Structure 1
Amino acid sequence: MGSSFGDDFSVLVLASDLGIDARPFLMNEETEDEEHESWHDCSQYLCPDEDFSDLEQLQFFRLQGSDKNGNRIFRIVGKYYPAPVVSAERLKKYIFHKICSELPEGPFCIVYMHSTVQRDDNSPGITILRWIYEELPADFKDRLHTLYFIHPGLRSRLVFATFGRFLLSGGLYWKIKYISRLQYLWESIKKGEIEIPEFVKRHDDILEHRPLTDYGIEPDPLQMTEVHSAAYTYGRYQERWAVREFMN
């Protein structure tokens, strides 16, 4: 009878027959599935117990409007960011919280206004910004379509031109689009989609009439680039303003 099966006879041995626990194999599959599902899960980046009301009032990072391709816009006003009083860790938590709680599905872009930014007062530093970007989930990096860099100064241009590829990941480096005048921004974004602070418009007017100021060749006679509009800087520069008023 055994010979009637011929060469087609085969035996299937299950792991349970050998007393082997198959759960680790199943757990590996479940873990892969969980990792895939958590790829788009933002719950781990939300900070429901942390109060960001002070940063919200500064309005340096806001979701506002869409570009002509329908991509949502995160507007960043560098002048409004108080770098000396906000730690890098808290900045990262705040950015992640805003992105995960407010940004809808689909691609988005960033409009960063560098107008009259002072390195010591308003800039967290390129190393910190790179660290925050690298910590973002890969999904958000892929969804970032363009970073519009408005009014890049001479120093910013030199740093990004010489060290940009080393300091920034390749994906972000090629997404940066420099906007020297607001009129070029309207080619990608309709007027009224995002709020442009008055000091940004004034700075744009200065650059329009004195274009060499943007490259550090011609000094700014009105010293508009020294104006500090954020409320927290008033006490720090009160004496400077008093001297100017006395001279006038």
Structure 2
Amino acid sequence: MTSSDRTERMLEEAFKIRGRDKKGRKILRIVGKFFPARELMSAAQGGGEEVLRSFLERRVFPELAGAPFVVVYMHALVQRSENFPGVTALRSVYEALPAAVRDGLRAVYFVHPGLQARLFFATFGRFLFSAGLYGKLRYVSRLEFLWEHMRRGEVEVPEFVEDHDEELEHRPLMDYGLVESDHHHRALDDPAMDTTASMYSYRCIS
């Protein structure tokens, strides 16, 4: 299997369209841990941008264009050096969406954000993102609150996300950054949100 094939497989795991929320809107589930940021960054000079764009245009955009949808982003176990693209990259992905897709986005459910992530977006969100996207961001601290918007069987939740959710239930101070997880350190809870070492380059998807 070539490196491009592996990256394609990883993108297929990271982006999945399945099920509908309680209002009948399609669900685009994004699992941050599966996003191949390092592979795309290392392939930037050899076509990393094209790989990502091609995948989204072939596998994601056609199923979303012209219809309302929501995004469920699962942040558990995201590592800065492996699969966190960076805030600037996230913004540029949104800005690169075709108009028909962007207009259909109704909400972005950010599952398991930490305190630093909340503070960052509260302080800089309006400056980094368009008002349209920022206003659609919804924090979901526990999976039980996600089920208020969609039924359990409508969105696939990886086992490690459920394990992380259970850990948060037993160690609630993790939500405030006062206690570290035994399993990982979340990228978006680092003091420095974007660095040249961790961020999937803005140029790659702009």
Q: TM-score, normalised by structure 2?
A: 0.78
1:164 match: 125
Tell me the residue number matched to 2:183. 224
Gap runs ≥5 in structure 1:
1-50, 228-248
1:81 to 2:35 alignment:
yes
2:168 is aligned with 1:207: yes
Whether the 8 Å contact between 1:114 and 1:151 is mirrored in structure 2 is yes
Alignment correspondent of 1:57: 9
* Counterpart in the other structure of 1:147: 108
Q: Percent identical across equivalent pairs? A: 49
1:217–1:172: structure 2 CA closer, same or farther, 3 Å change rule? same
Contact 2:18 2:26 in 1 (8 A): yes
Letter in 1 for 2:9: Q
Q: CA deviation at 1:104?
A: 5.9
Contact preservation (8 Å) 1:92, 1:132: no
SS of the residue 1:111 aligns to: strand
Say which SS state the counterpart of residue 74 (structure 1) adopts. Answer: strand
Aligned residue in 2 for 1:70: 24
Whichever residue aligns with residue 30 of structure 2, its letter is I
Q: What are the superposed Cα offsets for residues 60-114 of structure 1, whole Å, 9 maximum, x if unpaired?
A: 1011111011100111000111211114623243223323333364101110000
Compute the displacement of 1:224 (Å).
1.9
SS in 2 for 1:192: helix
RMSD: 2.1
Q: Distance in 2 between matches of 1:52 and 1:147?
A: 29
Which consecutive residues of structure 2, in runs of 5 or more, have no partner in the other structure? 42-47, 187-206
SS at match of 2:152: coil
The one-character-per-residue Cα deviations of 1:137-162 (angstroms, maximum 9, x if unpaired) are 22221110111100012332222111
Pick the aligned partner of 1:138 from 99, 108, 112. 99
Q: How far, CA to CA, are the matches of 2:180 and 2:90 in structure 1?
A: 29
Rg larger in structure: 1
Structure with the larger RCO, 1 or 2 (CA within 8 Å, 6+ apart): 2
The number of aligned residues is 175
Amino acid at match of 1:67: D
